[in-house]
Amino acid sequence: MKVTVVGAGAVGASCAEYIAIKNFASEVVVLDIKEGFAEGKAMDLMQTASLNGFDTKITGITNDYSKTAGSDVAIITSGIPRKPGMTREELIGINAGIVKTVSSSLLEHSPNVILIVVSNPMDTMTYLVHKTTGLPKNRIIGMGGALDSARFKYRLAEALEAPISDVDGMVIGGHSDTGMVPLTAHATRNSIKVSEFLSEERLAQVSEDTKVGGATLTKLLGTSAWYAPGAAVSSMVQAIACDQKKMFPCSAFLEGEYGLNDICIGVPVLLGKNGIEKIVKIDLAEAEKAKMQESAEGVRKTNSLLTL
């Protein structure tokens, strides 16, 4: 499996590192527009290979897409991250142009590639790729829900004072500070609903902390997060590479599912060798359905700023 990562910044390098450490890809190409930057990151990462025990070959490229030819999966992390006090939506002006150019350059050299969109505002960037590339919808996947769910589990474990491996939970909806829908009613500790152990107020706090997870880290770091985003992407790429049919909430193009049309937003999907193998429909409570509709309104508002 050949994987390309566009953007050798914080998230791109973390994606490349986790993919290599998990040792399922033969080759990872990291591409950046900044002269020599991807080459440097690739060399540094390759010098961890004997220490971390992986055989994946990582190469770095400055903006030469011919070197990405024949990629099975490509991850788009190019673009600016937010600074403290900003929303992800404010990044649209710069990132839309970058994501549009990058996706078309990738496709020129890898017509069969599966694209994973990471750049923010991610649901809108995923929609942009859908509208501008004409790729079948199974081959365009937005990464947000896998990360938000990992943060949800972190917050649940904290509230339960439990090991994270005891906890399960999922976040659907838009990848934004207000649009995420943590499915608290479905969350479990060892198959027991967490509502058995946590008060409504504590669960509401877990939900709120999850939704602002990215903003909290941005405030602490001065830029947005990269370890958990890279780990989330690497798990999704592994599910595709190993045809795992594993369930992740991903931003997918909807045609009626969850009562939504012509939008990319986070819903549970199965990831396998064809990308999105299936959109999984789950029964939502009335309150969750309403939150999902509200979240979609927010994503549509950002989508309306695109010039398609």
Return the residue of 141, 147, 231, 267 that touches ligand NAD, per CB under 6 A. Answer: 147
What SS3 state is found at 15? helix
CA 88/CA 71 separation, integer angstroms? 28
Structure tokens at 33: 């527009």
29 contributes a contact to ligand NAD by CB under 6 A: no
25 annotated as ligand-binding: no
Contact segment (CB under 6 A) with ligand NAD among 49-57, 74-82, 197-205, 254-262 equals 74-82
**What's the distance, Cα to Cα, between the start and end of the chain in Å?**
32
Residue from 114, 90, 119 nearest 10 by CA: 119
- Looking at the Cβ atoms of 67 and 289, the one nearer to ligand NAD is 67
Return the residue of 60, 213, 229, 298 that touches ligand NAD, per CB under 6 A. Answer: 229
Catalytic residue among 109, 130, 175, 186: 175
Q: Tell me whether strands 192-193 and 188-189 are parallel, antiparallel or unpaired.
A: antiparallel
5 annotated as ligand-binding: no
CA 280/CA 269 separation, integer angstroms? 5
Q: How many residues would you count in the chain?
A: 308
- Looking at the Cβ atoms of 81 and 275, the one nearer to ligand LMR is 81
- Looking at the Cβ atoms of 173 and 272, the one nearer to ligand LMR is 173
CA distances from 40 to 195, 224, 244 (A): 48, 22, 33
Cβ at position 1, least distance to ligand LMR in Å: 25
**Computed from CA positions of residues 300, 305, 306, 308, in that sequence, does the dihedral angle turn out positive or negative?**
positive
Position of minimal CB gap to ligand NAD: 9
Active site residue 186: no
Q: Are 76 and 103 in contact (CB under 8 A)?
A: yes
Q: Are 233 and 18 in contact (CB under 8 A)?
A: yes
CA 229/CA 29 separation, integer angstroms? 18
Q: Tell me whether strands 180-182 and 171-173 are parallel, antiparallel or unpaired.
A: antiparallel
Residue 34 interacts with which of ligand NAD, ligand LMR, none, CB < 5 to 8 Å by class: ligand NAD
- Work out the angle at residue 264's Cα, subtended by the Cα atoms of residues 260 and 270, and round it to the nearest 5 degrees: 95
7 contributes a contact to ligand NAD by CB under 6 A: yes
Number of residues that bind ligand NAD (CB under 6 A): 35
- Looking at the Cβ atoms of 50 and 66, the one nearer to ligand NAD is 66
7 annotated as ligand-binding: yes
Cβ at position 228, least distance to ligand NAD in Å: 8
State the CB neighbour count (10 A cutoff) for residue 44. 13
CA distances from 274 to 28, 133, 200, 233 (A): 19, 17, 40, 16
Cβ at position 82, least distance to ligand NAD in Å: 6
- Looking at the Cβ atoms of 145 and 272, the one nearer to ligand NAD is 145
77 contributes a contact to ligand NAD by CB under 6 A: yes
- Looking at the Cβ atoms of 127 and 189, the one nearer to ligand NAD is 127
Return the residue of 2, 100, 151, 175 that touches ligand NAD, per CB under 6 A. Answer: 175
For ligand NAD, the binding residues in 182-221 under the rule CB under 6 A are none
Q: Which residues bind ligand NAD (CB under 6 A)?
A: 6-12, 32-34, 37, 77-82, 91, 95, 98, 101-102, 118-120, 122, 143-144, 147, 175, 223-226, 229
Annotated binding site for substrate: 82, 88, 120, 151
The residues annotated with a catalytic role in the active site are 175
